[in-house]
Amino acid sequence: MTDINDPYTDFKSGYVSIVGAPNAGKSTLLNRMLGEKISITSKKPQTTRNRILGVLHRSKSQMVFFDTPGVFQAKDKLNVRIVDAAFSALGDADLVLIVVDVSRPDPNAERYLVKKLKNQNRPVILALNKIDLIKKSAMLEIIDKWSTVYGFKEVVPISARLGTQIDDLIATMEKILPAGPPFFPEDTLTNVSERFMVAELVREQVFRMTGEEIPYATAVTVDTFKEKKGGRLISIEATIHLERSSQKGIVIGKNGSKLKQIGTRSREQIEQLLGTKVFLKLFVRIQKNWRKDTKAIRRFGY
């Protein structure tokens, strides 16, 4: 019987494990689907060493993604642990999303991955990534080849970098998700967001460069986080929230000198974290007695 008062009637939710060979574009795909860059990345293989969780909120569904390390036949202990982390995500998944780089096939990793998939009974969708780097005439042959190696629920050609057919991929996954309420609140994006880390680094500098009650009256929010110049520059705007006007004067300092110091030291730390140049702009605002305001506490992520 349908409960007309239940806001999650006809709602779907589930965990989706994103797996594939190193550099197949898994993290790029996740960032594209979420509309945000949520974790530290680089072009080096195995930068991701743990499962990274990202949450996609839609009107009738919630998808909780595990962005996993690249799958390959590991030999040394560290890489064995990394690959184990990837496969451990399969056990927690309602759906498995395989990402393959069609422009640079990795037959060994692909055969190894398919072999592992045959030991589990969850539905699997294949995303053929980087189709912008191959000739259209080659696509049918690639789809036919993959269709013979495993019983995929769907095969979806995409370009994570350009956003090609990402909406189709999301809609395909949504159809397969089981019915159920959301797992996370609507404002949850990830368990290890770069925004969170940026906010914490700014707050750390406020702690180090001010005294008395200032650090404990401080909350930091990241208002914008945008990649520019092809990812070579990240532009960030963040707000330092304080409880009283007297605190604002201390944080800003004479002619803005203190705020400039906080910004410079924060930017240096953030650049180390992100591995790229950063333009950081800081604002200072008063949120009176926010530590006693339940809504403000929640909005600031505590």
Residue 85 scores a pLDDT above 60: no
Write out pLDDT tens, residues 107-157: 887 887 788 777 778 899 999 999 999 998 899 999 999 988 888 999 999
3-state SS class at 115: helix
pLDDT at 15: 92
Residues 6+ apart with CB under 8 A from 261: 205, 209, 253
Tell me if 274 sits within 8 A of 231, measured CB to CB.
no
pLDDT(166) > 50: yes
296: how many CB neighbours lie within 10 A of its CB? 17
Percent of the chain with pLDDT over 70: 82
Q: Tens of pLDDT along 30-47?
A: 989 998 755 433 232 343
Q: What is residue 199's predicted lDDT score, i.e. its pLDDT?
A: 87
Domains of the chain, with CATH numbers? 12-176 (3.40.50.300), 194-299 (3.30.300.20)
| 200 — pLDDT class (breaks 50, 70, 90) | confident
Residue 120's region, left for phi above 0, alpha for psi from -120 to 50, else beta, is beta
pLDDT tens digits, 178-195: 999 999 888 888 776 778
- Judge whether residue 1 has pLDDT over 50: no
- Cβ-proximal residues to 88 (8 Å cutoff; 6+ apart), any chain: 51
Q: Which two tokens mark 261?
A: 């110091």
Please say if the pLDDT value at position 265 is more than 70. yes
Q: Say how far apart CA 238 and CA 285 lie, in whole Å.
A: 11
Sequence-distant (6+) residues with CB within 8 A of 262 are: 202, 205, 206, 209, 240, 251, 282
- CA dist., res. 220 & res. 218, Å (int): 7
pLDDT confidence tier of residue 294, bands split at 50, 70 and 90? confident
